[in-house]
Structure 1
Amino acid sequence: MPKSHLYISSYWKIGSTENEHKVEKQADAQAMQL
């Protein structure tokens, strides 16, 4: 799965605050390293 897809999917979560989005981006980055 392209990294851009993970970023976009987390970005589009409705109701997520900026802080939650940063946390999700970190989780996505960690998932890409597995």
Structure 2
Amino acid sequence: ECEAACPKEISIDFISQLNREFLRASVKEERKPLQKV
């Protein structure tokens, strides 16, 4: 469904890779230590 709807025929494998990278970046962002004011 997702692959068929994509106008540039992006493969489902590529979409899943982007999702994994996004999740990794989200986790890393949350782990940053808080800055003391």
Between the aligned partners of 2:29 and 2:21, the Cα distance in structure 1 is 12
Task: Tell me which of the two structures has the higher relative contact order, counting C-alpha pairs closer than 8 angstroms and 6 or more residues apart.
Answer: 1
Which has the larger Rg? 2
Displacement over 6 Å in runs of 4+: none
Q: Identity of counterpart residues, as a percentage?
A: 5
TM-score, normalized by length of structure 2? 0.47
Match of 1:26 among 23, 26, 30: 23
Between the aligned partners of 1:19 and 1:33, the Cα distance in structure 2 is 21
More helix per residue: 1
Paired amino acid for 1:24: E
Equivalent residue pairs, number? 19
